[in-house]
Amino acid sequence: MSPGENEPDGSNAPYYDDVLSFTVVNDQGFLQTKHRLYMSSKPFDDPRILPGGSGITYTASDGAVHHIKPTSSGPAWGLDYITKQGLKEDTAQFKTNYQGLPDKVPEVKGYTGWDRMRCDMGAGR
């Protein structure tokens, strides 16, 4: 989960009992809690931070100019979950795969079952 104080009690991650649902839509994860929506980035890494990329230059709220170097940008997509509130204080906000994130869990349409993994409920019996 993301750094910072995302939950009402000041913690940076939700408590198990506060989790309402976990939904995956188009390879992006959405963890809905009683208080917040945590989500992974869009399902790709910003090409500017991959090996050989240009990096990302941005200006912080204090006016200082910073540069995120390729291959030093933190976890790859799908490994980090963040709230929109937490994103405002995180350099991930400058990456294209963290921009335009929804405010709520997207609707699941046309679900016909898993397409990448299969669960065999009879295994091990």
3-54 confidence digits (pLDDT tens)? 445 566 666 678 888 999 999 888 899 999 998 999 999 888 889 988 899 9
In this structure, are residues 98 and 42 in contact, taking their beta carbons and an 8 Å threshold?
A: yes
Which pTM was predicted?
0.73
Positive or negative: CA dihedral 75, 43, 3, 30? negative
Map out the domains of the chain as residue ranges.
16-98
In this structure, are residues 34 and 20 in contact, taking their beta carbons and an 8 Å threshold?
A: yes
51-98 confidence digits (pLDDT tens)? 899 999 999 889 999 999 988 767 777 788 899 988 988 888 999 999
Phi, psi (rounded to 5 degrees) for 76: -70, 165
In this structure, are residues 6 and 36 in contact, taking their beta carbons and an 8 Å threshold?
A: yes
